[in-house]
Chains A and B, each alone.
Chain A
Amino acid sequence: MLATCIRMEQKKLRHSHLWLVFAVIPVIPAVMGAGNYMQNLELLKSGWYSLWTQVSLFYANFFYAPLIAVYCSYIWRVEHMNYNWNTLMTMPVPRRDVFLSKLLLSLECTVGLQLWLWILYLITGKYCGLPGMPPIQILIWLLRGSIGGLAIAALQMCLSMVIRSFAVPIALALIGSILGLLASNSGLGLFWPYSLMMMGMNANRQEDMVSNLGGFLAAAVIFLVLFVLFGILWLRKKDVTAG
């Protein structure tokens, strides 16, 4: 049933132009990071790692979470419009599968965006004249960031499900990202889902921000489970408002 739900959700996303948004927006931090790197070559001397600090700086701190939020908002917007809530809730489908199918689909966004950023990072690195291939560690950081991204996706799913506006959850994601920046700089990153993504990605750092991988993964799983449980329970208990 879950697989069928995922296929249905994929159909709902057709002609949404989401791919265009995700293709274009990460190009800017990549170009910006490369420009910044080229302007400060006398300070940034660690090659691929230095370029990573510049590329990840703005992308992770301000834009990755809002991009996930755009995806989640769109997935739920179709339900908020044209009385689709009524149709959705009368389908012979477990509520759990409704929520999980949407969340699993967001993997396309959380992981896909990271891989796209890696490709852009590689292209800009080559343009800047960096030798060889980027260290595999950077790819691991990116994928580790997407684990934090999944916790954010689960939270944004809940927000977009509960809040009927398309725009408000995206604005909340931006606010969350900036609070995440403050939290991770104050050593409280493990307690705020938006910080987990920045820590996982090692945003703007050359040395690894995740000193305790077990703690990082535990925090990501706890947030994920918490938000998924909230989402499923809300769907089960709360009456819908269609319109």
Chain B
Amino acid sequence: MLREWKTEWMKIRRRKIGLLVGAFVVLIFAWMTWAIRDSSKEQIYDGWRVCFLQFSLINTILLPTMIAMLASRLCDAEIKGNTLKLLCTMEKKGRLFDLKLLTGAVYLLLFIIAEYAMMFLLSAALGFGRPAEPRHLIYFFLENYTSSILLLLLQQVLSFFYENQIIPLAAGLFGSFAGLFSWFLPGAPVWYLIPWGYYSKLAYISYTWDEATRITTYYNAPFNFPGLLALLAIIAAGYAAGRYLFVTRKEI
């Protein structure tokens, strides 16, 4: 298995996937720095909670498209090169599916680690007064990484099944919109059924905006553990279904 995984990394050499993911990291850093530089003293004091909320919101907008790109880059190598025919004579189809998913998951993990690094950097540079709560650091991972894994799974299935890559990329763009929409109507239960809605469903920081004073106050909201369980169940079912379809239905 390790040899096959090494082969996956060799296949994506010079495909500059890391560079593009890195570009998104730099973009988010620029965006956050720009957004936070004019913040009030109160917001800087409560910077960690601002970061946890803003990063999740930015991820909702950017990650569906970035993940669509990532999955398309990983899978398109096989589709464009018509290499599945050859590969599947040497490697189990299911394992190929797993290793592509694992490779994408590693990129996402590095992306989330980079976001943590950005938060610590912003905290050190601006001097956030209220310390970060350790459970919030864990919730951030559960919210953003787990939601992203579901999207990666969905995009990988789409990228493998559609030679025309418009469908997966359009799904990514649609997802960015849908995800953003979910932040505006967070109470609607329909978002549990929409993969892009989990970034907002698992949000654990909320805010109130006072129209008269124009002050935004951030506060802790209870973490949505049933939502997390629903997400994990969907990932498990989606993985089983996607793998089954790839192994039994995907024509090569």
Question: In whole angstroms, how far apart are the Cα atoms of A36 and B181 in the complex?
Answer: 10
Question: In whole angstroms, how far apart are the Cα atoms of A168 and B16 in the complex?
Answer: 10
A62 touches B61 (CB 8 A): yes
A165-B73, A167-B72 are contacts. A66–B174 as well, Cβ < 8 Å?
no
B13 to chain A, nearest CB (A): 14
B82 to chain A, nearest CB (A): 10
Question: In whole angstroms, how far apart are the Cα atoms of A85 and B69 in the complex?
Answer: 23
Mask, B193-207, CB within 8 Å of A = 1, is: 000000000000000
B159 to chain A, nearest CB (A): 9
Q: Chain B contacts of A32 at CB under 8 A?
A: 177, 180-181, 184
Q: Size class of A's contact patch?
A: 35 or more
Q: Which of B89-136 contact A (CB under 8 A)?
A: none
B65 touches A174 (CB 8 A): yes
A167 touches B76 (CB 8 A): yes
Q: Does A166 contact B (CB under 8 A)?
A: yes
A28 touches B165 (CB 8 A): no
A24-B174, A32-B177, A168-B20 are contacts. A182–B31 as well, Cβ < 8 Å?
yes
Q: Does B190 contact A (CB under 8 A)?
A: no
* Interface majority SS (helix, strand, loop, mixed), chain A: helix
A171 touches B170 (CB 8 A): no
Mask, B1-35, CB within 8 Å of A = 1, is: 00000000000000110001001100100110010
Query: What are 17 A-B contacts with C-beta separation under 8 Å?
Result: A21-B166, A24-B174, A28-B177, A28-B178, A63-B173, A63-B176, A70-B173, A166-B166, A167-B73, A167-B165, A168-B20, A170-B65, A170-B69, A171-B69, A174-B62, A175-B24, A179-B27
In this complex, the member of A29, A62, A166, A171 whose beta carbon has the largest number of chain B beta carbons within 10 angstroms is A171
A25-B177, A77-B165, A170-B65 are contacts. A70–B184 as well, Cβ < 8 Å?
no
Question: In whole angstroms, how far apart are the Cα atoms of A43 and B80 in the complex?
Answer: 52
B65 touches A178 (CB 8 A): no
A25-B174, A70-B166 are contacts. A171–B27 as well, Cβ < 8 Å?
no
* Interface majority SS (helix, strand, loop, mixed), chain B: helix
Q: Which of A75-130 contact B (CB under 8 A)?
A: 77, 80-81
A16-B164, A35-B185 are contacts. A63–B177 as well, Cβ < 8 Å?
yes
A70 touches B34 (CB 8 A): no
A34 to chain B, nearest CB (A): 11
A74 touches B166 (CB 8 A): yes
A24-B174, A66-B65, A166-B72 are contacts. A175–B167 as well, Cβ < 8 Å?
no
A58 touches B180 (CB 8 A): yes
Q: Does A152 contact B (CB under 8 A)?
A: no
Starting from the known contacts A32-B184, A167-B165, A171-B24, 5 additional A-B residue pairs (CB-CB under 8 Å) come to A32-B181, A36-B184, A165-B72, A167-B72, A179-B30
Question: In whole angstroms, how far apart are the Cα atoms of A63 and B145 in the complex?
Answer: 24
Mask, A151-193, CB within 8 Å of B = 1, is: 0000000000000011110111011001100100100000000
Question: In whole angstroms, how far apart are the Cα atoms of A163 and B225 in the complex?
Answer: 43
Q: Chain A contacts of B69 at CB under 8 A?
A: 167-168, 170-171
* Chain A residue with the shortest CB-CB distance to B15: A165
Q: Which of B154-184 contact A (CB under 8 A)?
A: 164-167, 169-170, 173-174, 176-178, 180-181, 184
